[in-house]
């Protein structure tokens, strides 16, 4: 059973460029969340997708956008890159349930460096 996969593993971009990161959730999972982890800090929630809709969003500008496909995979897009966008971007998947106890499983991340 494949876990959460992300691509690419590493990426180097220059300021002003645009980037797309990809995530495939764990088998059986239908919800994908994205987090940004700056060096030496804890992950910060960007947004969550369920049924191809953005369900919740953290405190990130509109330069950060996403998409979820019918097969539950997801993309994170960042426009007009800034130096401060350099970070590890983590994708987490889960199975949407009405009760508590749902667990988010994380992928290995994509390390983005903006020069």
CA distance 25 to 65: 18
- Nearest approach in angstroms of CB 45 to another protein is 4
**Cα 31 off chain centre by:** 11
* Closer by beta carbon to another protein, 24 or else 48: 48
**Cα 51 off chain centre by:** 16
Using CB under 8 A, count the residues that bind another protein.
32
Task: Choose the binding region for another protein from 12-20, 63-71, 76-84, 98-106 (rule: CB under 8 A).
Answer: 98-106
With binding defined as CB under 8 A, does residue 24 bind another protein? no
User: What share of residues in the chain are helix, strand, coil (percent, to 5)?
Assistant: 5, 50, 50
With binding defined as CB under 8 A, does residue 60 bind another protein? no
With binding defined as CB under 8 A, does residue 14 bind another protein? no
């Amino acid at each position: 059973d494949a876990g959460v996969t992300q691509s690419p593993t590493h990426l180097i971009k220059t300021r002003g460029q645009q980037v797309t990161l990809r995530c495939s959730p764990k088998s059986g999972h239908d919800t994908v969340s994205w987090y940004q982890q700056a060096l030496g800090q804890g992950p910060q929630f960007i947004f969550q997708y369920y049924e191809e809709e953005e369900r919740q969003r953290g405190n990130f500008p509109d330069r950060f956008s996403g998409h979820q496909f019918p097969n539950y995979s997801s993309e994170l897009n960042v426009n007009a890159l800034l130096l401060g966008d350099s970070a590890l971007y983590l994708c987490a998947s889960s199975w949407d349930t009405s009760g508590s106890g749902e667990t988010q499983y994380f992928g290995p991340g994509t390390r983005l460096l903006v020069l």
